[in-house]
Chain A
Amino acid sequence: MTEETREVDEGKPPFFDSWSKMYALVMGVLAVLILLFYLFTEYYS
């Protein structure tokens, strides 16, 4: 089977100069959410 391929432009995400920083933002938001959920659980239990 032959496959058609194309050059892929990696591009840059908005607001950041690399995708690594965008991924760090997503992981950071997740960490903050988990921390907030933990505090929420502790406060109201």
Chain B
Amino acid sequence: MTTIEDLLQQPATVEERKTPILDESSKREIRRACLTAVAVPGYQVPFGSREMPVARGWGSGGLQITLAVVGRDDVVKVYDQGEDGGVNAANLRRLIRSAEPVTTTTDPREADVIQTRHRVPEDVLVDGQILVLQVPVPEPLRGVERDMTELRRMHAEADYAKMWVSLYEDIVRNGIITQTTGYPCLVGGRYVIATTPIPRWDVPPLHQARFLSLFGAGREKRIYAIPPHTDVEPLTFEDVPFQVEEVVEPCRCGLIQPDEEPGAYLVELPGQTGETVWACSDTDWCARRRLEAGLLGEDAIDALEVDL
């Protein structure tokens, strides 16, 4: 199955749908915007963003893309902050399943479409998979320029000087580049994009990826894409290497150790009494690894038994 072909396919027939969220002509319009985005990697394609049953800022852009691109019998994964069982992921998964003839999974390896808020799966995604990223702020240059007309000019002329100056000033003032998530990247050598607020840890997997990434910003009414096999270069200087968030303490189950492969994006869980433990943000990946290692805890079973 090829992802571009998926986008060109006819949608599920109306009879197969359950509780409609989007009408079919709207879905076609969104698929066309996705195709434009694929054709011009990194360019923010304006689209007639519809109002969704979730509020703007809650994944309405990602939801529109997912609803528009899923085909009959596709398998969908939805997760939020790396977690399949979180409230927002559970709600979106329920909505998608109620509206489209799809099944859902927590295992990204089984999924045709993965809708995510702020993480890229730790598993390596392959050809034919689509990663749909929910984007709150699609404009990478907003921090250095507020005027939208000027922003349009800067992108059109690939004039990213202000961005470079701000990165330089950051180093001069703070000694490091302080950008945390949503790190600006040059896509296909042409457009600078905001990598949503995914952590910097998740940026390298986007480079020359085998999968298609579609970024949906519902509130700001834009869609952009990183097609498969496209360069994604974080903006930095020759003598200032791009830094990701690293493992500084072992994961609580001991499977992730500092400076050992494979790493993972860990989140800090501060305890009541000041002690801190670290846990994998990608709960499904973590649970499978623990299962393999015979370290299955109760929370791992929970992660694998998310109500689908």
Question: Are A and B physically bound partners?
Answer: no
Residues of chain A having any CB pair with chain B under 8 Å? none
Residues of chain B having any CB pair with chain A under 8 Å? none
